[in-house]
């Protein structure tokens, strides 16, 4: 006796509902934990506590923000850029 496979129903889309594809991760390689010390505030001005890293090639441009003052997992290409900026990392 053959079994029936359950039918997959498509979601009902109307004028107010949209369907988007699930975002796939851009990087699937290993990650490294890094720690950058927090920057001190001078004279009451607020200091940006993120280190900005941009990696660009012929295919795409990817921007990363590394939070200072906490251990953060970053992809290996970001670690290589940070290691060039901060040799004692």
Whole-number pLDDT of residue 41: 78
Whole-number pLDDT of residue 63: 92
Dihedral-angle region of residue 43 (phi above 0 means left; psi in -120 to 50 means alpha; beta otherwise): left
Q: What is the pLDDT of residues 10-60, one digit of tens each?
A: 666 677 777 788 887 778 899 999 999 988 877 777 888 999 999 998 988
Report angle CA 31, 47, 70 to the nearest 5 degrees. Answer: 30
Mean pLDDT calculated for residue range 47-76 = 92
Whole-number pLDDT of residue 2: 56
pLDDT of residue 4 exceeding 70, the answer is no
Mean pLDDT calculated for residue range 2-10 = 59
Whole-number pLDDT of residue 65: 94
């Amino acid at each position: 006796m053959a079994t029936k496979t359950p039918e997959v129903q498509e979601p009902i889309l109307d004028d107010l509902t949209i369907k988007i594809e699930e975002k796939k991760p851009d990087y699937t390689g290993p990650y490294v934990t890094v720690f950058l010390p927090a920057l001190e505030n001078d004279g009451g001005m607020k200091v940006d506590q993120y280190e900005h890293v941009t990696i660009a090639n012929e295919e795409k441009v990817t921007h990363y923000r590394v939070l200072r003052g906490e251990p953060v997992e970053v992809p290996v290409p970001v670690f290589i850029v940070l290691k060039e900026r901060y040799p004692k990392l």
